[in-house]
Structure 1
């Protein structure tokens, strides 16, 4: 029985049969890490907002740098079981405790196409 199974797998591998190859791959889960920031959340940000107001809108930042206390980084990473890695980055910069600018992949005021 093992020889038969091995022979079938060998022939399928040599012949380039992707259906059998996909069937034998292990299941991989979708992995989501970080802060998921939507366009609607970023659109709520206005210059002059306090740190507490920004935290209320976006949530607690994933990264707060000790050396750059006036910058919060929100990072989101999605690795589907099958498919390409997706990453989003957003940085919020404060001066004197007030929001000055937003940098990154998602910008305030950009309109996403409806799906």
Structure 2
């Protein structure tokens, strides 16, 4: 009888621990998980048809996947899963001809204006499509404050304020007696 109680208690304790192992406690930090090659739009914009494998490797880094059955194709994969969040993945495949020259790319990135340049409003390199620039709306001209308003009273007080000299501290006596 005593053995049965001990066995049941230990079994219940083990099941409780197993159930708690799958729980997520609030306030517990979960790390971001990054895997693969980081590929940016600026890297893709530097690629030009006819570049050699060596030039492409200098810009992009080593490919994540070099398929033995498709020797003329390099694959770059990048995966990011923020702590406890949804995983996102980006993929780029570069194709080479028999002369080891870049002939094309396929995937989530396209040549063109980089995201940074589009945000900053800089012009794209020659030969890349331009995105239309937005014109800033004209600022309305300021009208003088209406007589008797709080705004006019504040402006009058600011205009009548007289500057006050800031006192300069006296140097300390170097030879105290």
TM-score normalized with structure 1 length: 0.75
Deviation digits for residues 19-65 of structure 1 (CA, Å, limit 9, x no counterpart): xx7626x4321010000000000000000000000000000000000
State the partner residue of 1:106.
109
Deviation (angstroms), 1:108: 1.2
Aligned length: 94
8 Å CA contact 2:42–2:114 kept in 1: the answer is no
Deviation digits for residues 86-113 of structure 1 (CA, Å, limit 9, x no counterpart): 1000000000210000110011114425
Instruction: Return the index of the structure with the highest Cα Rg.
Output: 2
CA distance in 2, matches of 1:23, 1:45: 45
2:66 counterpart of 1:74: no
CA distance in 1, matches of 2:65, 2:114: 26
Larger mean Cα displacement after TM superposition, 82-91 or 70-79? 82-91
TM-score normalized with structure 2 length: 0.50
Secondary structure at 1:114's aligned position in 2?
helix
- Greater percentage in strand: 1
CA distance in 1, matches of 2:76, 2:110: 13
Larger mean Cα displacement after TM superposition, 103-112 or 37-46? 103-112
CA distance in 2, matches of 1:93, 1:110: 21
For the aligned residues, what is the CA RMSD? 1.8
Give the 5 Å matches for 1:83-98: 83-96=85-98, 97-98=100-101
Q: Extract unaligned runs of 5+ from structure 2.
A: 1-23, 121-177
